[in-house]
A and B are shown apart, each in its own frame.
Chain A
Amino acid sequence: MTMRTNDLFRMALHDIRINGSRSVLTTLGIIIGVGAVVLMTGVGRSMEGVILGQINTLGPRTIALWPGKGPEGGASIGSDYQAVTMRDVEALRQLRSVTDVAPMILLNDPATYGREESEASVVGSPPAYYEGVSLEVTAGRFHDESDEQGVRTVAVIGSDIARDLFFGRDPVGERIGIGDRKYTVIGVLKSVGSQFFQNQDTRIIIPFSVARTIEQRDYVDMVTMRATGDIDAGVADVEYLLRKRHSIVSPSDEPAKNDDFLVRTAQQAQDILGTVSLALTLFITMVASISLMVGGIGIMNIMLVSVTERTREIGLRKALGATGRDILLQFLVEAVVVTVFGAFIGLLLGVLLDVLIVLIARSFLAAYIFALNPYAIVAALATAIGVGLVFGIYPARKASRLDPIEALRYE
């Protein structure tokens, strides 16, 4: 080989420049492939951040308990929604491994203020609930034990309810309607966005004693609590207690098979998120690989056209003293350089689109922040360069093997 490396690169840049639009077409597949990877993994990261943030607002020690069956099997939800009773809650309060045991009764009534109406999920729960799920108020206060004792019709409302009913005015002290009762607003919750696709800002929290008086029932819809020490020990105690109280016997290899309740922790939610996120990453990787492969075939096709179009040039170069290896390297370097160009354009486009999505998403999801997946970017760039090399070889070999006389005669 007589050519110098910088000659090869300069030549490649020159050829790419004088064939501007064709160069872009050559690398379109790579641009789209890399752009898609950057964008999709970036959005994935941002979403993961949002969901993780929400899980973490639950607190690492929060344990949630629902009546009904879990994914492991057991009875169906319909038949067992009355499974967890106030007597179970009292028994749970006796456990040393958990604290802030807060039963919950859910009401499905819209909230009204004057002529305004807003969809709401009304939660009747004792003050311990606020501790269990780490809530904060931006105005007013939480309800307390005296509100519970007095069965006072007071309400702590979510930020979306405050916005929909009061349009920015201070709701504290105002009276809203829920069902056929009126409640005094005593606090507004800080926005936390969605948790598991359910908007948490449309929540209204009323004293548990009030909800129980309305519903007149002994079973609850959910119980939250916090582990005092090791969370797994807390979960084990809760499960043991409830199985004993509900006389549940399951095969030893499937201890939860016959459970009529479900216990979940933030850690488990994180684990599920991790699994979902891994599956998503694998899916994106697969789609991206196919896209880059298609991009590579595009490069090969257009490089083959380019070799045919430049047959005379190849003949000339050989006549001027280029070896087959010189020609091979020239076309290979050109394929790789055009791919790298495409990869960086794709990277830029992906980042720009990601920024755009962040700007849009932030308007309704405050916790959405810009994120990129550096591993995915490096992998996409490396794959793109590899694709350029692999798919550049065939056209480059074809070029290097042209007979100079035939090539010079080519019309």
Chain B
Amino acid sequence: MTAPAPLIQLQDLQKSYFNDGMETPVLHDVNLTIDKGEFVAIMGPSGSGKSTLMHILGFLDRPTEGKYVFRGRPTEKMDQDTLARIRATSVSFVFQAFNLLPRTSVLENVTLPLLYHPSIPASERKKRALRAIETVGLTDRATYLSHQLSGGQKQRVAIARSLVTEPDVIFADEPTGNLDSRSGMQVMEALQALNDDGRTIILVTHEATTAEHASRIITIHDGRITGDKRDFRRRVAKDGAALK
């Protein structure tokens, strides 16, 4: 019996940007394995390459060299449409700036990813979206327009939006960066609860205190992984208001 393939496997991954023929290397020889169900924080100062790494992991960008195997399948040769399909079905994002559609209701915002999902029928969209909204405790706000919500509520809507397709992994890019500490706490509590339910979460942050909510912290400096620790005391976000 063979062990199941890891969710994410990076082998000697390199990423460079090219500007007017000038090469700017961003990631060097990144080797990394992430299993299903992990809560990983990728931590590093700005310019360290952590966002680039997240973009590659989330199929928004491609590596210059090296291998990225996702759920046992190599991804180097996939075309743009296949990558879009993976984004639609297997990964999702929570952004620092929430990125909700303006003047659009919570329900419609949460439904948005389902428009691009190839196999979820239109008749199921509303049910799924309401379930996701319930998970983040915003059922009574479902008909509110996005600009009528507080920052913390907006980020919870974004989390509901990331859940609605039931992806293999949720990427959270500085999800507390635009929030006050209490709202930030609620968002971390929500992410921890999702991880407790078995979801894989990859958090990108430059703050150690935020990273400590994860169960594994990968530190990155100048495009190289400089640390990977699991044996620390995990912070538990507890506000009580975030989730029912």
| A binding-site residues for B, Cβ under 8 Å | 2-4, 7, 11, 14, 18, 312-313, 315-326, 404-405, 408
**Are B101 and A321 touching (Cβ within 8 A)?**
no
**Are A321 and B81 touching (Cβ within 8 A)?**
no
Given contacts A319-B60, A320-B113, A324-B80, contact A4 B122 (CB under 8 A): yes
Closest B residue by C-beta to A312:
B99
**Are B87 and A321 touching (Cβ within 8 A)?**
yes
Given contacts A4-B122, A7-B122, A18-B103, contact A321 B61 (CB under 8 A): no
**Are B88 and A320 touching (Cβ within 8 A)?**
yes
- Which 7 A-B pairs give the minimum distances between C-beta atoms? A321-B88, A321-B116, A321-B87, A18-B103, A323-B84, A320-B113, A316-B99
Closest A residue by C-beta to B82:
A323
- Name the B residues within 8 Å of A404 (CB-CB): 60
Show 27 A/B contacts (Cβ-Cβ < 8 Å), sorted by A.
Answer: A14-B104, A18-B102, A312-B97, A313-B101, A315-B99, A316-B95, A316-B99, A316-B101, A317-B112, A318-B84, A319-B87, A320-B87, A320-B93, A320-B116, A320-B161, A321-B86, A321-B87, A321-B113, A321-B165, A322-B115, A323-B80, A323-B81, A325-B81, A326-B84, A405-B61, A408-B95, A408-B99
- For residue B58, CB closer than 8 A to chain A, the reply is yes
The distance in angstroms between the C-alpha atoms of A2 and B87, with both chains bound, is 12
- Name the A residues within 8 Å of B88 (CB-CB): 2, 320-322
Of A3, A18, A319, A325, the residue contacting B58 (CB under 8 A) is: A319
Closest A residue by C-beta to B99:
A316
Give the size category of B's interface with A.
Answer: 20 to 34
Number of residue pairs A-B, CB distance < 8 angstroms: 71
B 30-70 to A, binary, CB cutoff 8 A, 1 in contact else 0: 00000000000000000000000001001011000000000
Closest B residue by C-beta to A17:
B103
**Are B115 and A3 touching (Cβ within 8 A)?**
yes
Q: A320-B116, A324-B84 are in contact. List 9 more A-B contacts (CB 8 A).
A: A2-B85, A2-B117, A3-B115, A11-B115, A312-B99, A318-B60, A320-B93, A323-B81, A323-B116
Q: Which of B60, B87, B115 has the most A CB atoms < 10 Å from its CB?
A: B115
- Name the B residues within 8 Å of A316 (CB-CB): 95, 99, 101
Given contacts A405-B61, A408-B95, contact A320 B112 (CB under 8 A): yes
**Are B60 and A326 touching (Cβ within 8 A)?**
no
**Are B80 and A3 touching (Cβ within 8 A)?**
no
- Least distance between B117 CB and chain A CB atoms (Å): 7
- For residue B118, CB closer than 8 A to chain A, the reply is yes
The distance in angstroms between the C-alpha atoms of A354 and B61, with both chains bound, is 58
B 106-134 to A, binary, CB cutoff 8 A, 1 in contact else 0: 00100011011110001000000000000
- For residue B219, CB closer than 8 A to chain A, the reply is no
- Least distance between B59 CB and chain A CB atoms (Å): 9
- For residue B89, CB closer than 8 A to chain A, the reply is yes
Closest A residue by C-beta to B98:
A316
Given contacts A312-B99, A319-B87, A321-B88, contact A405 B117 (CB under 8 A): no
- Name the A residues within 8 Å of B80 (CB-CB): 323-324
- Least distance between A11 CB and chain B CB atoms (Å): 8
Closest A residue by C-beta to B171:
A319
- Name the B residues within 8 Å of A313 (CB-CB): 99, 101
Of B81, B95, B115, the residue contacting A7 (CB under 8 A) is: B115
**Are B117 and A321 touching (Cβ within 8 A)?**
yes
- Name the A residues within 8 Å of B183 (CB-CB): none
- For residue B92, CB closer than 8 A to chain A, the reply is yes
Closest B residue by C-beta to A7:
B115
The distance in angstroms between the C-alpha atoms of A325 and B116, with both chains bound, is 11
**Are B55 and A405 touching (Cβ within 8 A)?**
yes
Of A4, A18, A312, A322, the residue contacting B84 (CB under 8 A) is: A322
**Are B92 and A320 touching (Cβ within 8 A)?**
yes
The distance in angstroms between the C-alpha atoms of A149 and B93, with both chains bound, is 106
The distance in angstroms between the C-alpha atoms of A18 and B101, with both chains bound, is 11
Of A2, A14, A18, A312, the residue contacting B116 (CB under 8 A) is: A2
- Name the B residues within 8 Å of A323 (CB-CB): 80-81, 84, 116
- Least distance between B188 CB and chain A CB atoms (Å): 22
The distance in angstroms between the C-alpha atoms of A319 and B173, with both chains bound, is 13
Closest A residue by C-beta to B55:
A405
**Are B116 and A405 touching (Cβ within 8 A)?**
no
Given contacts A7-B122, A18-B104, A313-B101, contact A326 B116 (CB under 8 A): yes
- Least distance between A18 CB and chain B CB atoms (Å): 4
**Are A321 and B84 touching (Cβ within 8 A)?**
yes
- Least distance between A178 CB and chain B CB atoms (Å): 76
- Least distance between A207 CB and chain B CB atoms (Å): 81
- Least distance between B99 CB and chain A CB atoms (Å): 5
The distance in angstroms between the C-alpha atoms of A4 and B102, with both chains bound, is 23
